[in-house]
Amino acid sequence: MRIRRVVTGQRADGTSVFVSDRPVDPITVALIPGAELHALWDSDEAVRLPTDGSRPAAPGWFPPAAGFRFAMVTLPPDSTPPPAGLAMDAALAEMGAKLPGLLEVLERDSPGMHRSDTIDFEYVVAGEIWLELDDGAELHLRAGDTVVQNGTRHAWRNKSSEPCVMAVAIVGARRD
């Protein structure tokens, strides 16, 4: 999927300007063939205004408390087979390098199940997906549906034959 990101900012005199207008390349990993993650904007702390529109440093997939992430995520059908001859150690290393922090929250004994210290806002743009909670409860979501994920243990299951595209905003939170 082609994703275009337009960024605005302000000059020193307070005038609003377009800072950039360009496509954002997806992050892809061999471990999840067909998945695309477009990291659109992020910060590890509250943003102070005015800003010149420079992208803040935010190295991990999940933000710390007061930080945020904004992304587009495409999830392939669960039936998508792994690539032939996939070297698991190399695939895990690639995922760790390209999506820092994601492997650490994924449960090895329950594929796809995870929990992060974040509030996630998801909007299904296209396709359909099933949201599974830790007790096995599932909810079928279609284009136009939204989810507010309050730091809960969950997994995304694409039981359809088409990719699902979601806009995702992730806000860091503190877990007591």
DSSP secondary structure string, 73-117? EEE--TTPPPPTT--HHHHHHHHHHHSTTHHHHB-TTSTT-B--S
Q: pLDDT, tens digit, for every residue of 103-115?
A: 999 998 998 999 9
Whole-angstrom Cα distance, residue 129 to residue 131?
A: 7
CA distances for 137 relative to 52, 145, 154, angstroms: 45, 17, 10
Supply the Cα-derived Rg of the chain in whole angstroms. 17
Whole-angstrom Cα distance, residue 72 to residue 107?
A: 23
Please state the CATH superfamily assignment of the domain spanning residues 26-172 in this structure: Jelly Rolls (2.60.120.10)
Whole-angstrom Cα distance, residue 167 to residue 72?
A: 5
Whole-angstrom Cα distance, residue 34 to residue 98?
A: 15
What percent of the chain is helix, strand and coil (3-state, nearest 5)? 10, 40, 50
Region 10-23: what's the mean pLDDT? 95
Q: pLDDT, tens digit, for every residue of 36-81?
A: 999 999 999 999 999 999 999 899 999 999 899 999 999 999 999 9
Task: Tell me what pLDDT residue 1 has.
Answer: 87
- Domain range list for the chain: 26-172
pTM over 0.85: yes
